[in-house]
Amino acid sequence: MEVKTSLLDNMIGVGDMVLLEPLSEDSFIENLRNRFDHNEIYTYIGSVVISMNPYRSLPIFTPDKVEEYRNRNFYELSPHIYALADEAYRSLRDQDKDQCILITGESGAGKTEASKLVMSYVAAVCGKGQEVNKVKEQLLQSNPVLEAFGNAKTVRNDNSSRFGKYMDIEFDFKGDPLGGVISNYLLEKSRVVKQPRGERNFHVFYQLLSGASDDTLKKLKLDRDFSKYNYLSLDSAAVNGLDDAANFRTVRNAMQIVGFMEDEVQSVLELVAAVLKLGNIEFKPESRCNGSDESRIKDKNDLKEMCELLGIEQSVLERAFSYRTVEAKLEKVSTTLNVSQAYYARDALAKNLYSRLFSWLVTRINESIKAQTKARHKVMGVLDIYGFEIFEENSFEQFIINYCNEKLQQIFIELTLREEQEEYIREGIEWTNIEYFNNAIICDLIENHQNGILAMLDEECLRPGTVTDETFLDKLNTICAEHQHFESRLSKNSKFITDHSLPHNCFRIQHYAGKVLYRAEGFVDKNNDLLYRDLSQAMYKANHSLIKQLFPEGNPAKVNLKRPLTAGFQFKASVGTLMRNLQTKNPNYIRCIKPNDKKASHIFTDSLVCHQVRYLGLMENVRVRRAGYAFRQAYEPCLERYKMLCKQTWPHWRGPAREGVEVLMADLQVPTEEFSYGRSKIFIRNPRTLFSLEERRRQCLQDLATLIQKIYRGWKCRCHFLLLKKSQIVVSAWYRRYAQQKKYQKIKSATTVVQSYTRGWQARKLLRELKYQKRCKEAVTTIAAFWHGTQARMELRRLKQEVRNIHAVTVIWAYWQGTKARRELRRLKEEARRKHAVAVIWAYWQGLKVRREYRKFFRANAGKKIYDFTIQRIIQKYLLGMKRTIPSMSPVDKSWPARPYRFLDGVHTELRRIFHHWRCKKYRSQFTEETKAVYEEKLEASEIFKDKKALYPSSVSQPFKGDYLEISKNPKYQKLNSAVDEKVLLADVVNKINRANGKGTARIFLLTKNSVVLADQKTGQVKASVPLPDLTSVSVSTQSDGFFALKLKEGSASAIKGDFLLSSEHLIEIITKLHRTGATAADSEQLNIDISDEFLVQFKHDKVCVKFIQGAPKNGNSVSCKRKNNRLLEVSVPTSA
């Protein structure tokens, strides 16, 4: 069972200052000290969390703590920042209320760490998933990047935020983070060029020099020695507890996670290095002829390296440091800068360069972490902004920072009182007006549009004439002299006669946190924040990828003569936007307090804490909460907590919770003036009443604990007795069962033995009987077997004798039959010989008679008939032989059977011709239209080049492919394919010969039905398109090269640039297709093919002779083309072996 610990349980001091009794400043401080000493760094004032900086790690931020505070009521557990974060997150997720968490306090109080804890808690309790985890990781990793570029070591804090940050985290309807937007306010860019004693520049400079690799530093032209850079303070370069090298690696990793590309990171580091180099530029005076001084750079090495980093011409930047151009309408005036003005320009450039780089970083991070969906988002804002600052010397930066804190205090007072009033009205409780100090008068003193300090400062900056800090202070003394919160030497509120701490060039403002003395020196310059236009234009000329984005006003095409907005005006506008944004959200407050100035743990300085409690208005906040009712709680948890104090409500109340609380309070006889009933809560006026209820509850819990112990012990003994009784019954039952089983086993065993003996005797008796019967049967069988054997042998002997007798008869009969057959055979043979002799004699006689009868006919026509018959038989034999020896059906097969007789010469030759034609016709009937076209092209190529061009024999075996580039399928040539409307007959890569040097340039050669197109091989852009009617002839050599010249018709539009001299590996195919396409075109003449080793080519206005010679093989037996003079190009063709 889970045990819940309330805010009121096991308290060290008082967890909620509203319940502090008695309430005074001393008791308030003592309660904070008591809790701080016991590592309780969080305390409530109602819903406001007070956070003490422990300056050490505490085991209260573990994942177990996150789970402990997850989905818990705000007052259910001891005070913790997780409770406030959980309350804000659940209100946003479940009630659809936009939230903002305002973290305030002075520098070093732990505001930045508090914002990290809030963000890490929200990231831990929201949803999971790959995309959600990526968004959470990017939101969390944006902190190290911004801290490196926006935080610095000060005398009060080793990691002080020198800029204000407000992050809006956007959630979907489920409460999962979608992204975020970061807004930054007033980076303290003056720290780039100058740091107070004991403080450092921004972290990134030290991290870069300490953690970057040697190669990186070499590329950035940097050295690890801090002392070599004027912008880096040396007395505080090393800080205990800060590992700059490790932090640099963390920042690089965070930038990668957030989404920075590698070239973007390199560009950022180059700008950081450029700022360091800029600080090393020093100037010297140089007298001019008119007597004025002009600044010159002492050592130009740092300037050179900086210009190399940023891609700027050194002379351009050097001039910008020496001259200033002032433009007024159409006039330009150039003036020289003295040394002090040059140093001012250098520092102004450094400050602007770093400030704009920081703004670009924030914008770049926002692009990575912004929500991708356009649906409505729930928003939780986290404000981490610099705290109230009071230094020995306070300038314009402290004035702006304290103005921002005044506005935050104002909105805190307004929202706190409004929330208190709205709760009383919502619950139906009578509202009592509360007196409090309203700092609106101080805000009006600073931001009034007419007489405010910022308005007067802007007016003074824009006023023509001599403007100095003294004239600004005089104006303040004139207008603000009677204001009760303004003091100066000349104001009516100052007691300068006795107060010698107020110098002449200072003024003092009574802030809500106390009086702050401001030195007017530098107010005008810092508010102007001017960067000479010459420097902006010099920066815009840089080749660096980021510089043009950072200095858009340097674009000469967009010169703006309008004066830029002042720093004070911009900050006032951004603060106004921030205040309006905060007022649209439900506020949650974290008030951070610094326990000591030594940044050490276990030290609690009463005076310092008291000062912070005063200017944070914490006592007023407690009084506001206590002015009405000190404690309030919903009826259900109140009844659940105190129900044991009344018999009617204990242990369960069956009715509504409010009625139960009314019964409870009536039974406890609490005075009615000490509490009131709201619609959903009970309100207790005095903390003593609450503590009285707690004391009664504690006593009742002790009584209940005693009663529970008594009942538990009785229940435990009764359970033990029942267990023993049950065990005895079980043991007895098991024993009786065991005894009966043993008795049964004995009886069963004896019965089995008797049965076995009886069955054995019976079996043996039966066995003897069976054996006797078996022996009798075996004797009878043996006797019968012997008898049957004797009978069988006697029968066998008889049968064998009969067989021998039969065989003898058979043999004798066979011999007799053989003798008879042989005698008959001799007789038949003799008779056959006699008959044959008679037949032969008869045949001879008949032949003699025939010959005598036909002798007269035979002598007249016998020769011709014998000749015809012989010829007929020879031809018949010849044709049948041809049928067997006929060659294959291949048209290229030249074999043919030998001629058997000379008189068949003509027939043999004619048959060979007829067979070849028939064979070719059969072969041609198998062709498709495409194959016919290819063979027709081959035939035409033979007619053009055979015995004329040495390259022709090697091309015969190569098929004409046509589209060698697959231009319709290859996506690389999609643009070129769309540019050519007609069907492409041939696509190949050729070399276009340059007449200037004889070298070739790769071009895509396209042939269509109506034109020849040459295009760039890489881009696919069409370089030339020649209609076929404009082609008059094509010239080629007789040798084995691939050169050919396309000669154009004089006066045609295509002949403006002259003829084309090209080279291709598929020369035969290109010329053949050109010849065929030109012959089939309706509007073009027959294309002439000129085959010669020397021909003229028209290049623009000159004619050049192209001469082909045979030379020794060079460059891998390749053809080379060289320019001999303006009129001759010589092509050397290797001699073929």
CA 905 distance to own-chain centroid: 88
Contact 633, 74 (CB under 8 A): no
What residues contact residue 740 under an 8 Å CB cut-off, 6+ apart?
none
SS3 (DSSP) at 684: strand
From the number of C-beta atoms within 10 Å of its C-beta (0-12, 13-18, 19+), residue 475 rates as middle
Residue with tokens 């035979």: 858
**Rounded distance, CA 503 to CA 393, Å?**
12
Find all residues with CB under 8 Å of 506, minimum gap 6, and list them: 488, 517, 518, 519, 520
Alpha-carbon distance of 368 to 365, in angstroms, equals 5
Place of tokens 């060039």: 505
> In angstroms, rounded to a whole number, what is the distance separating the alpha carbons of residues 149 and 354?
9
Count, residues in the chain? 1137
Q: State how beta strands 48-52 and 42-45 pair.
A: antiparallel
Closest by CA to 175, choosing from 144, 143, 135, 137, is 135
69-83 burial, b for 16+ CB within 10 Å, e for fewer? beebbbbebbbbbbb
User: Which residues contact residue 1130 at a Cβ distance below 8 angstroms, ignoring those fewer than 6 apart?
Assistant: 1107, 1109, 1121, 1122, 1123, 1124
Q: Provide the sign of the torsion angle of the four alpha carbons 768, 772, 774, 778, taken in this order.
A: positive
SS3 for 251-301 is: HHHHHHHHCCCHHHHHHHHHHHHHHHHHHCCCEEEEECCCCCEEEEECCCH
Angle at which helices 635-642 and 657-668 cross, to 10°: 50
CA 65 to chain centre: 33
SS3 338: coil
HEC per residue, 180-236: EEEEEECCCHHHHCCCCCCCCCEHHHHHHHHHCCHHHHHHHCCCCCHHHCCCCCCCC
The shares of helix, strand and coil residues in the chain, as percent rounded to the nearest 5, are 55, 15, 30
Task: Establish whether the linkage from the previous residue to 651 is cis, with ω within 30° of 0.
Answer: yes
Q: Which of 116, 560, 543, 72 is nearest to 316 (CA)?
A: 543
- What does 57-126 look like in DSSP terms, one character per residue? --TTSSHHHHHHHTT--TTTSS--HHHHHHHHHHHHHHH---EEEEEE-STTSSHHHHHHHHHHHHHHHS
Dist CA 950 CA 948 (whole Å): 7
d(CA 459, CA 461): 5
CA 109 – CA 118 distance, rounded (Å): 16
Neighbours of 995 (CB within 10 A): 17
Angle of helix 339-369 versus helix 130-150 axis, rounded to 10: 170
325 touches 281 (CB < 8 A): no
Residue 710 phi, psi (nearest 5): -60, -50
* Active-site residue set: 107-108, 112, 157, 160-161, 387, 389
Classify residue 1084 by its DSSP letter. Answer: S
Strand pairing partners for 1105? 1096, 1128
Cα gap 235→840, rounded to integer Å: 151
Query: d(Cα 548, Cα 802) in Å, to the nearest integer?
Result: 136
